[in-house]
Copies of this chain bind each other. A is one copy, B any other.
Amino acid sequence: ISNLRSKVSKFARRVWKIGADDPRKVIHCMKVGLALALVSVFYYTRPLYEGVGGTAMWAVMTVVVVFEFTVGGSLYKGLNRATATLCAGALAFGIHWLAIKSGKTTDHIILGASVFVLSSVATFSRFIPAIKTRFDYGITIFILTFNLVAVSGYRVEQLLTLVQWRFCTITIGISICLTVCVVIRPVWAGEELHNLIICNLERLAESIAETVAECLKEEGSTTAECKQKSTSKVQGYKGVLNSKASEDSLANLARWEPSHGRFSFQHPWRQYLKIGAAMRHCAYCIESLNSCISMENQQPPDSVKNHLAVFYTKLSSECSKVLKEIANSFRSMKRSSSVDYLVEEMKNTAEELQTALSSLPQEATAVIMETLPLITVASLLIEISQRVEGVVD
């Protein structure tokens, strides 16, 4: 039992941590609860009940399905849902009308065939990447509504009313959803993306500086605690490596958002993805550098180490300065004037390092394995930071 209890308490602590790390998640949950409670109130009110009738459940369903963590997500789903319902309803109504006109036996065939063909075509269109990223949810709803109307229309005579009510309740659901989502502590996908990029830039900057420091540090000179701290900083680049998926999805959702705060409607979100790719490119290098360092079993002679250490430290600190400056210019949304200057300085240091390498003492060739990746990373960094700089707004 004590084993079980410790497990439960461990789980509870982890859950608590999720909430404490990002209170917006807790607020989001309350918002969902609130939106659903609002819909219920709506349902309980008698006069409305008479009007909206049994289809009020569509409003509940819409709120449950459409409400997302970010405003962009809710907008994407809401707009897709409304448009798809309207299109599919109209189309199904047309086909149904055609089927009824054509007589008793053919109507079965027309309806069945249209269900088969349209569902297949719509499903196929989900495999087209350009459509998938923007309208995936819409197509699901299109298939759903079309089938519901086409099939149920056969029974219920008041087809038009059904489509109308469905659209109406869905609209109500979406408006409740969006109102709650935007009014109470909105979470904008665009802002999330912006912050993610800034955070990744800073992680990368720290990672570079720490990796090099780690590499030059003398063994045994640090306490375990201090080591752990720096290791966590070094690992920062791993987050950058794995952030592609979240960047992509955030950029997709950000596209749907209206202008908010410092971001306009057609903010160049694609540029963020490019910067993300450049950062990942950079992180790959840090990854290889890191594995080189952790592999070194042969201790390089101190003479070589000292010969290069100065340049290493200088270059890495300049790289991380450039990245931090870019992060700052992102934060203020202004093109920083000092980036060019810093990049220039970084280039010079890289050249100095190259010269220093050519003038290495003979014994150094033995340890080259350990020292070389660093300069590779350095030169790559120059290229990358230039690219990053080029795409800042």
Could you tell me which A residues sit within 8 Å of B by CB distance? 14-15, 18-19, 25-26, 28-30, 32-34, 36-37, 39-41, 43-44, 49, 56-57, 60-61, 64-65, 108, 111-112, 115-117, 119-121, 123-124, 127-128, 140, 143-144, 147-148, 150-152, 154-155, 241-242, 244-245, 281, 284-285, 287-288, 291-292, 295, 354, 357-358, 360, 362, 364-366, 368-369, 372-373, 375-377, 379-380, 383
Determine if B362 and A357 form an interchain contact, defined as CB atoms under 8 angstroms apart: no
Q: Within the complex, which residue of B25, B150, B376 is in contact with A124, where a contact is CB–CB below 8 Å?
A: B25
Task: Give bound CA distance, A377 to B295, whole Å.
Answer: 12
Determine if A18 and B60 form an interchain contact, defined as CB atoms under 8 angstroms apart: no
Determine if A365 and B376 form an interchain contact, defined as CB atoms under 8 angstroms apart: no
For the complex formed, measure the closest distance between the CB of A291 and the CB atoms of chain B, giving whole angstroms. 6
> Which 3 residue pairs spanning A and B have beta carbons closest together?
A33-B120, A372-B372, A33-B116
For the complex formed, measure the closest distance between the CB of A124 and the CB atoms of chain B, giving whole angstroms. 4
Task: Give bound CA distance, A39 to B150, whole Å.
Answer: 12
Task: Give bound CA distance, A390 to B288, whole Å.
Answer: 22
Q: 20 new A-B pairs (CB below 8 Å) besides A33-B115, A36-B116?
A: A15-B128, A26-B124, A29-B120, A29-B124, A33-B116, A33-B117, A34-B116, A36-B115, A36-B143, A40-B147, A64-B143, A64-B144, A244-B244, A284-B284, A292-B380, A357-B368, A360-B365, A368-B368, A372-B376, A373-B376
Determine if A120 and B373 form an interchain contact, defined as CB atoms under 8 angstroms apart: no
Task: Give bound CA distance, A287 to B241, whole Å.
Answer: 13
How many copies make up the complex? 2
- Residue ID in chain B nearest A117 by CB atoms: B33
Task: Give bound CA distance, A245 to B372, whole Å.
Answer: 33
Chain B residue numbers with a CB within 8 Å of A244 are 242, 244-245
Chain B residue numbers with a CB within 8 Å of A151 are 39-40, 43, 56-57, 60
Chain B residue numbers with a CB within 8 Å of A44 are 108, 154
Can you pick out 10 interface pairs between chain A and chain B where the beta carbons lie within 8 Å of each other? A14-B128, A29-B124, A33-B119, A37-B112, A37-B115, A43-B151, A64-B143, A64-B147, A281-B291, A373-B373
